[in-house]
Amino acid sequence: MPLMIWLTLLYNWSSQPFQEQTIKPWLRAHWSVERLSALLPDVTIRYGGAVIEAREEPYRFVEFVFRKAAHLFVYAILGALAYAALPVRSGPVWKRGVIASVLVLIVSLLDEWNQTFSVMRTSTFEDVILDMTGSTLGVLAAAASGRFARRLAVRDKRRSERRARDGGGITPKRR
C-alpha cells in the first residue's frame, strides 16, 4: 500500500505545471538577489541543454538544486518502497534489488514522458539518471536495513532461547 500511495503522489507531482511547483516566489519574498548571490558559490551548471550560473541567476540556481535534490529524495523513497514490496521469497537480496530498480526505471521513464504533457515542464534523460541514482540509494538503504533487522531478530531469538534454557535469566545466588 505505501508503494501505491507514493506512486500516486509522484504522478500528481509530475502532472503539475511548473507554475504550481516553483519556489521562486517564496525565494523572492525572503531573499534579495544581492544577498542570495553573495551566499552562492561562483559555479556554472550545464544540464539538459540549459546553462545556469549561480551568481547571475540565484533564484533559478537554488530552484534547480532544490528540484534535483527532490528527484533524489523522491526516487530514493520509491526505490526503498519497491524493494520492500517484493516478497523475500522472490530471491536473494541482489535479485530483489535488480527487480526493484527495473520497476523504478519504468516509473522514471513514464514520469519523464508524462512531463512532456505538462505546461512549462521539460523531460530530460539526465533526470532519469538522477532518478536511478536516488533509487539505487533507496534500494541499498532498504537492503541494509533489512539485513540489520534480521541480525537483530536472530540476536534477540538467541537471547530469549538462552534465557529460557537458563531458567528465565534468573540465576540463584551462590553462598
Q: What percent of the chain has pLDDT over 70?
A: 92
Q: Which residues contact 124 (CB under 8 A, 6 or more apart)?
A: 47, 48, 49, 112
169 pLDDT higher than 60: no
107 pLDDT higher than 80: yes
Note the pLDDT of residue 174.
64
Cell numbers found for residue 150:
534480521
Note the pLDDT of residue 31.
95
Cell numbers found for residue 52:
545556469
Cell numbers 529460557 correspond to 164
Note the pLDDT of residue 162.
81
Note the pLDDT of residue 147.
74
Report the DSSP beta bridge partners of residue 45. Answer: 52
- pTM listed for this prediction: 0.79
173 pLDDT higher than 70: no
76-102 residue pLDDT tens: 999 999 999 998 777 788 899 999 999
Higher-confidence position of 7 and 121: 7
39-58 residue pLDDT tens: 999 999 999 888 999 999 99
State mean pLDDT over 146-173: 73
Cα separation, 15 vs 174, in Å, equals: 73
Note the pLDDT of residue 170.
58
- B/e letters for 71-92, b = 16+ CB within 10 Å, e = fewer, are bbebbbbbbbbbbbbbeeeeee
Q: Which residues contact 141 (CB under 8 A, 6 or more apart)?
A: 76, 80
Note the pLDDT of residue 157.
79
3-36 residue pLDDT tens: 999 999 998 888 888 888 899 999 999 999 999 9
